[in-house]
Amino acid sequence: MNWRSRAAVAGIALVLLAPATQVRAVNPDEILADAALEERAREISSGLRCLVCQNQSIDDSEAPLARDLRLLVRERLKAGDGDREVVDFIVARYGEFVLLRPRFGAHTLLLWLGPALLAAIAAGVVFRRIRARPVSATAPLSESEEQRLRKAVDG
């Protein structure tokens, strides 16, 4: 088996095994007895950022702070809070940075519209550069070049 075949097999194996590697960090002692409440807790936890890891949700992180936040979410749900109330409570305590998807508002306008604004500016720069580029005129063919061209076309 050559190296390309091995690479293809390894790539296929990686794609097939990737879902199996997505293990949640929720410990068995954290899971709520009520399946509906647990599902709500998982949904909320998947949208909250681990403040230690910063690139994982608290549901995926094994950091002690993430565990504390998961327990806090479940505690608030058991107390009867709605999903929005739980998220608002966590945001009030830790700030909007805790949200993996920040809310759209005046203070996050640049965050949401910044990429589109940068893309528009880049497109404008590219467009202006293309339009400003001088068009090169081609010189007419010399007599010898025309003869060679006719000879090549006629065969």
pLDDT at res. 48 = 92
**Helices 64-78 and 35-45: crossing angle, nearest 10°?**
130
Which CATH number is 3-100's, of 3.40.50.300, 1.10.150.530, 3.30.565.10, 1.10.8.640?
A: 1.10.8.640
pLDDT at res. 22 = 46
pLDDT at res. 139 = 81
Residues 102-123 have pLDDT tens digits of 878 888 788 888 899 999 999 9
Residue ranges covered by each domain of the chain: 3-100, 104-131
Query: Could you give the CA distance from residue 89 to residue 103 in angstroms, rounded to a whole number?
Result: 14
CA distances from residue 111 to 55, 100, 119, 136, 143 in whole angstroms, order as listed: 17, 13, 14, 42, 62
Position 21 pLDDT exceeds 50: no
Owner of token pair 């009520």: 34
DSSP state of 149: H
pLDDT at res. 91 = 92
Selected residue with higher pLDDT from 26 and 112: 112
Position 19 pLDDT exceeds 60: no
**What is the token pair recorded at 148?**
């060679």
Q: Are 87 and 57 in contact (CB under 8 A)?
A: no
pLDDT at res. 6 = 77
DSSP state of 98: G
Q: Are 24 and 59 in contact (CB under 8 A)?
A: yes
pTM of the full predicted structure? Answer: 0.57
DSSP state of 56: S
Residues 129-148 have pLDDT tens digits of 888 887 776 788 899 989 99
Residues 57-97 have pLDDT tens digits of 888 888 889 899 999 999 999 998 899 999 999 999 988 88
Comparing CA positions, the residue from 36, 53, 32, 50 lying closest to residue 94 is 50
**What is the token pair recorded at 133?**
């580029």
Query: Could you give the CA distance from residue 115 to residue 120 in angstroms, rounded to a whole number?
Result: 9
pLDDT at res. 138 = 77
